[in-house]
Structure 1
């Protein structure tokens, strides 16, 4: 598995709440949830601290239990980060630091993957390109917009926004809501998981792991389709994808569906050498 990656905060910011990492056969991208101004999180830490600790704990879990499932290792990592808070924080607070998770692990004959929340994975297997996504946050957000529409028309934008954030927090890691890595290891068991082969006609050839700041190239700005995204990253590298998103953010600020004019963006490109049935 050959790996290239890029990650960058939005223009004008030095803090990147995304993180890309590799630990042996495991690669991943994490996207820490930004805390809107004026909101408490019940924690002395923040999203950047959380993603760094979660990545480190995932690496340790993989090293200690390489045969365990990605779900099991993610649950162990979340539990370990919970202990890393050192009893200083209210981990039952609805705004406790959290992160999306997108993982890919090379097992020699096959590749395991895990997607939790809105950090999608693009896979080219055989002659097809598929996207592994977890759309539960998007579904919850759509329901939230419908609920917010019931507020009186005189409600000012700031009040609407604070209402939306408060309700969304109530849906985090709840049945009929959405799931994300935070303080509850049970969230790992709600991830989207699967396995693809590294041999035969349907062998995995290329993969791209994305945070939503990078997948916005397709999902928000429509710059190209998923095949086009994969081809761009293959030819020009993950950094070129982020450059395209930044240009679109400047040219089409109205396309952003969220409260941020720009977002942290990360992409990891993995290329696999095709194996025959003899392992050659």
Structure 2
């Protein structure tokens, strides 16, 4: 059973109460969880560090676990210092600060430098601000409608990579060679205009995130929000266990840990030939629920 936490958080001002429940678990058989979930006052977030395949260099003495924990801490410090700044601006400041945390010991221009997806939600006043960078989606229940905020540029890049690989002559490379080629190309596309964007060593990536806001009052008010790493969103995107609205309901009624348990069961049952890339993945779920504000506001 996955562990979870529940804690109420109230932002400064007139915003409705935000109740937060979360769970995060490493992939089965692994001691290290390269996901992070955090709550810092009115700000919540899910980060998913990019696992380094065996045999690949990163130019860095630190790993994904170090990176996501430092990035979460630096996001919190940036928010505390500039609570009125945009999430993009504070994420950029956090990425820049983590560059300094490396202490000059790492090649931060290396294409394999540690990186992380980012999914943030910040309660304040009459609205909630959000930011999504790379493949950690945000599910919103607002105005009686469920929508998904997603950054699909990594998926687009990987689909193009698979199309390119399919054009290679049969027998041109064995499976291990093809995998190495794929990882190399993916790294080359990271934080490039025609590739995809992720938090790594370039603070400019923050300004390529998908960002916006949702009202907390009136007919379109936000009622629930679900922040996910891709190890948890696979319940919809890979396994088809439920749709996005059903995913929200499962987490609301059964808790974040129950969703991770469902994903683990699906991972065990799925034949290897149908898997996208990993047998299993770290999984993180954060549910935010909001009391109704003044519907006439």
Using structure 1 for the length normalisation, give the TM-score: 0.98
Residue correspondence of structure 1 range 192-271 to structure 2 within 5 A: 192-254=210-272, 255-258=274-277, 260-271=278-289
Q: Deviations over 1:59-107 (max 9, x none)?
A: 0011110000000000000000000000000000000000000000001
Correspondences of 1:21-36 after superposition (within 5 Å): 21-36=38-53
Q: CA deviation at 1:278?
A: 7.6
**Correspondence for 2:105:** 88
Counterpart in the other structure of 2:91 = 74
1:232-277 per-position Cα deviation (integer Å, ceiling 9, x unaligned): 000011000000000000001434211x200000000000011106
* Residues 208-229 of structure 1: CA deviation (Å, up to 9, x unaligned): 0000000000000000000000
Candidates 120, 126, 131, aligned match of 2:148: 131
Deviation at 1:151, TM superposition (A): 2.6
For the Cα contact (< 8 Å) 1:118–1:133, is it kept in 2? yes
- Any conservation in 2 of the 1:253–1:261 contact (CA below 8 Å)? no
1:13 deviation in Å?
A: 0.6
User: In structure 1, what is the equivalent of residue 11 of structure 2?
Assistant: none
Please give the alpha-carbon distance, in whole angstroms, between the structure 1 residues aligned to 2:296 and 2:244: 32
Question: What secondary structure, in the 3-state scheme, does the structure 1 residue paired with 2:291 have?
Answer: coil
Whole-angstrom distance in 2 between the partners of 1:8 and 1:147: 34
Instruction: Tell me: CA distance 1:59–1:156, structure 2 relative to 1, closer, same or farther (3 Å).
Output: same
Equivalence for 1:106: 123
Answer yes or no: is 1:16 the counterpart of 2:33. Answer: yes
**Native 8 Å contact 1:33 1:99 kept in 2:** yes
Q: Does 1:172 align with 2:190?
A: yes
1:146 matched to 2:163? The reply is yes
Quote the Cα distance in structure 2 between the aligned partners of 1:233 and 1:36. Answer: 31
Q: How big is the shift at 1:150? A: 2.5
Whether 1:183 aligns to 2:207 is no
Runs of at least 5 residues in structure 2 that lack an aligned partner in the other structure:
1-17
Asked whether the 8 Å contact 1:117–1:135 carries over to 2, the reply is yes
Q: Is the 8 A contact 1:111 1:196 kept in 2?
A: yes
Gaps of 5+ in 1: none
- Report the Cα distance in structure 2 between the residues aligned to 1:277 and 1:109, rounded to whole angstroms: 11
C-alpha offsets along residues 86-139 of structure 1, whole Å, 9 cap, x if unaligned? 000000000000000000000121000000000000000011000000000000
The whole-number CA distance in structure 1 between the counterparts of 2:125 and 2:224 is 15
Give the deviation of 1:199 after TM superposition: 0.3
Q: Deviations over 1:130-171 (max 9, x none)?
A: 000000000000000011123331111000000000000000
Structure 1 stretches of at least 4 aligned residues deviating more than 6 Å after TM superposition: none
- Any idea what SS the aligned residue of 1:34 has? coil
2:224 is paired with a residue of what secondary structure? strand
Q: How many residues align?
A: 278
Q: Distance in 2 between matches of 1:69 and 1:14?
A: 35
